[in-house]
Each structure stands twice: as structure tokens, then as C-alpha cells.
Structure 1
Amino acid sequence: MSAQTITRRLTQADLAKLYASGEKVSMFTCYDASFARLLDGAGVETLLIGDSLGNVIQGHDTTLPVTVADIAYHTAAVKRGSDHAFILADMPFGSYQESPEQAFRNAVTLMAAGAQMVKLEGGAEMAATVEFLTQRGIPVCGHLGLTPQSVHALGGYKVQGKGEAAAQRLRDDALLLQQAGATMLVLEAIPAALAAEVTASLNIITIGIGAGKDCSGQVLVLHDAFDIPPGKKAKFVRNFMDGASSLHDAAIRAVAAIKDGSYPAPEHTYAG
């Protein structure tokens, strides 16, 4: 099964078939119609309207100031600019932690703006919320490991899941989220061996970012992958503009690298 043979917008079921066939799932963050059109044309299967827009679009030091209205605005723009990619929207900080009911209200706003699934951070403490949403028709993607909305609680942007106790907690959280109804899971900045183990233990799609090559797919932050602005990036970032003739060419190269497993390479990977 190839997603590129489907001319309509991809669905959650299409991504599940792609995963079942053994093909890696490609995902890019995206925030506007122009880049949505470019990434869509390059064959990217999933566009994530990430709360990373707080950093790369709004100029904040963290993702914490981003609002539901911000995500909804950019989700609508991305939806208008794309015809093919699956649309995933972040639930921003403070929009779902209070109660499942609060999460549902805000998820409805994002779905109405064009999202096909929402993403929220956290493990066991979010299981009841994930179950509440999925039972009411809101598809959910979880997010474990380095969770940027908890940057202050984590003491900065640090690799997570190191040490057996932390690794076991992440394993347990992943299973709980799956049992609660999550159908996708982002694993960020964790040792590659742990990500491989978690992926093998689940029957849902895992999307890695700084989590090694054995996840079901990879997500790239648009501005990092295209070296905007130039400068030092996280270890797991690869500059796909290096040697590319255009942004479109860079996007095609990125998708190809995810598909053939050449990205992430060992130099983009954290050890345990």
C-alpha cells in the first residue's frame, strides 16, 4: 500500500494500513497554507500543527504561551493549503489538563478548524482524558518522553527515559495510552533502544523525534529541517537543505530518507 496512490485526503485508517504494510510514516510540522501545499506535493503523509509555532512563528522561548485560538487559526490555514495529508493538531498548554470536559471542548474547536486528530502530552495522568475524548469521537495522539509543555518541570530540554525506573514508567505510560484509545504516539528525545522496545510492544503508530530509526515514522520540525534560521540545532536534527536545489527538493529528500530508514542516522540518536 502506498499513500501516494490515494488522491483524496488521507484518513486515520490509511495511516494504519501504511503502518501495517511496513512503510514508515512521514510527518512535518506545518503552520501555513503555502508550506502545507509544498509539503503535500512532496508526499508528506501527516502535517502537524504543532505548538512549536510558539517558538518558530511567534518568537517565544517556550511553547507555553500558545493558545487554542492560535492552533485553530493555523490548522485552518494548513487544511486550506493541502489536499492529501492527514491533519494533526496540538492541544496547547492549559487546554486539556484541567478536566476531560475541558479537553473535549477545546478539541472540538480544533476539529472544527480542520484537524482529524489532536495530540496531547502526558502519560498515566492523561489516560482518563484520552479515553473520554476517544469515546466521543475525537481521535488522539499521545506524546511521551521530552514533553515541551513540561519543560520547567523537567528542568529543561533533556533526554528522557534514561535509567530503568524512567524507562519502565515510559513503557507503562505507552501501554496505558494505547489502552485508553490513543491511535498514535509521539516519542521525543528518548534512547533509541527504548523507543524500539516501546514500538514493538504496541499495535499503534509511533512517531519518533530524537528517538531512533525503529519508530513507525518520524516527525520533522519544518524550520529545523530547512535550517530556518541557520544555527545550532538539537542533535536529532538533519539539515535537508544541504545539497538540495529547492525547498521542494529538500522536502522530497526528507520523505525519502524517512522511508528508506537513512534518517535518523546514528549521529541523530541518543543512547541509553
Structure 2
Amino acid sequence: MTRIKSAVEDTLPDGVFWVVRSIYGVVSPNKETSIVVPHDGLWLVVDIKGGEYLTPSPKRASWPELVDGKIFDKYTLEGFAEVEPNDIVFDIGAFVGGFSRPAAKNCKHVVCIEPDPKNKKALEYNLNEGNEEIVRSVAWKDETDIELQLGHDPTDHSVLSADDGGTGRSIEVKARTIDDLAAERGIDTIDFLKIDAEGAEPEVLSGIEETEVKKIAVDCSFEREGEATFEEIEQILQQRGFATRRSGEVLFGRLKPESTAD
């Protein structure tokens, strides 16, 4: 039933969906936890519990995680891979800040990599700790121009194929390696690296040869042409000296004390 509901939502233009949702909110006010209004070409979500944030779409996948902290919790593992006060954090696939916003409250500096211009615009609005940096780019195995395939859901854009089947549209984006992104900022060690690359996680890791990474969280779910990347990512991490643990869709790694970057 949930899949049917999601498929129907995907077929509705954002404006139509917003009208339907607004009517539903009037009819069933006790079931709604936020108010959504158009704002500067995007959508402003005001949560009744407090807080607001900007999102590229009013649909289901774009809102609760910024307020309830579930995305941050998804990418941290207590006692093994946590964001700490002096950490330099890289957020690959930052979307609208579900991970970056709470991370910024707990770390020294966070670099957010997000290729989609609407998502980046929302990200700029949502991050306000003053220790964030946003780069519009794809993290990749080398530096090149690459096509970003656009999904119906803005969380599903991918350099492979969009997870939801896609809209048939794409935009050209500059692809960079994490090594280059770190080096140009004078960073030789990333304390915490979060990766959600919609199936392109192996290519992202291929772009790390010089930079030391101490803790890592990689979304390995079924997004690489319908396949998961757990085995491949775990092999890469273990070869690089990481102890690994899995929780849900995420593979965590922590560099062993005796290991150094290759």
C-alpha cells in the first residue's frame, strides 16, 4: 500500500501535491506535524514542534529528517563511528542537510558536497551554524564533467540511473575527487566521512588515495542498478585498514590504530 501511495505521489506535480496535502491538513489536522508553503521557488517546511527548513519538494521524502534527527542517527554508530567536537566532516550527498545540520552542531567543520542546484539552495538556507561549507559537485573517481540523472524524488538523483526510474532529464555537473576537494582546503585528514552516492559509492572511494579517513559511514542500499554495494565497499574498507560494522543500510568503518592512509 505504501508503494502504491508513493507511486501516486510521484505522478503529481509539486504544486498539485501541495494543494492536496493542504486540504488533508485542514480535514485531518491532528495527523499533520508541519506546515508547508511555497518559498523562493522551493518549499518552506515549518514544524509544529519547532524549527523550519527549505526543501526542493513538498513530497514525503523531503521533510521530517531535518527536525527529528533520524538521518544523523542513521549515519552514526555509538561507540564506533560518531561525530566528535574537533572533527572535520565531509558529507557526500548532503541533499538538504539531514546529516550536515546536526553534524555541524557537534563538529569543528563540515564540508557538504551536493550536485543538484535546488538541493544546494535549500542546503544553504538550512545550515546556519557558521562552520559549514557547501560545494556544488559530484564526488567521483576523477575530475570530469558528468551527467546527473534526475529522479522524480529529489533524493534519487544519481550519476548512474535514478532510483525511482527517473524523469528522463539530466544536468551536467562537475565531478571531483575527495582527494582534490580536501587538498584544496588544506585538509589531509577527514575525521568523519559520510557517503550517500545513490549506488556510486565504489567510485567515490576510488577518489581517495592521499587523504586519511578515520571514520566512515556508507549507504550501501540497493541503488546500484538495483543491487546493494555492501560486499564491495566492505572489501575496499578492510583492505585500507578499517574495522567494519553494519547497521541497517549503512556500512561503518573505523581506521584501526596501526593503519595509515596508503
TM-score under structure 1 length normalisation:
0.34
Structure ranking higher in strand proportion: 2
TM-score, normalised relative to structure 2: 0.35
Relative contact order, higher structure (CA 8 A, sep 6+): 1
Larger Rg belongs to: 2
